[in-house]
Amino acid sequence: MRRAAAIFGMILLSLTANAKAAEGIDAIAVYAGSWKTDTVHVDTPFGKAGHETGTLRNDCWRSGEFYACHQYVDGKSAALLVFAYDPARHTYATYPIAPGATAAPAGQLLVEGNTFTFPWQSTQDGKTTRFRVVNVFTDANHIAFRQEYSTDGVHWNTMATGSDTRVADAH
């Protein structure tokens, strides 16, 4: 379960591209395109310290009230992410599907100004741990992100930090 939560979080943290360029479901369009990623992981109960770089490409489209992104990591298909928007609550539902038809639990995206937050939680052995990926857009082509966990929902511990930089599509 920890591995699935960590994979889901890493997929989500790598998506974002721009500070709230549009409202509603159209805001997801900022995800489209190619990105160079640079991530530094720290030792936690959920992962080991390390550094990784990569290329992320999101082929995205809107269909009616939904937005979808087929995500490639270093040229390999990684997930299909489907988004829906609830205008009454100003929140987004996220539905990730990995190759092989493996679906992760539905998630949520919260947008406040130039900060996009993807929260989720996992319960193991009766203990609930909260996770979140926080993306802060510094401009249209750069994002600073962090992945965190909390056992109480108040105090957050860093799991990873990094940045995404938009690059020209080369597919």
pTM of the model: 0.81
Do 147 and 130 touch, CB atoms closer than 8 A? no
Domain spans, the chain: 2-167
Q: What's phi and psi for 10, nearest 5 deg?
A: -65, -40
**How far, in Å, CA of 167 to CA of 148, rounded?**
26
Residue 169 has what DSSP assignment?
-
Task: Give pLDDT tens digits along the chain (171 positions).
Answer: 444 444 444 444 444 433 344 788 988 888 789 999 999 999 999 999 999 999 999 999 999 999 999 999 999 999 999 999 999 988 899 999 999 877 778 899 988 888 889 999 999 999 999 999 998 888 878 889 999 999 999 999 999 999 999 998 755
Q: Spelled out in words, what is the top-level CATH class assigned to the domain 2-167?
A: mainly beta
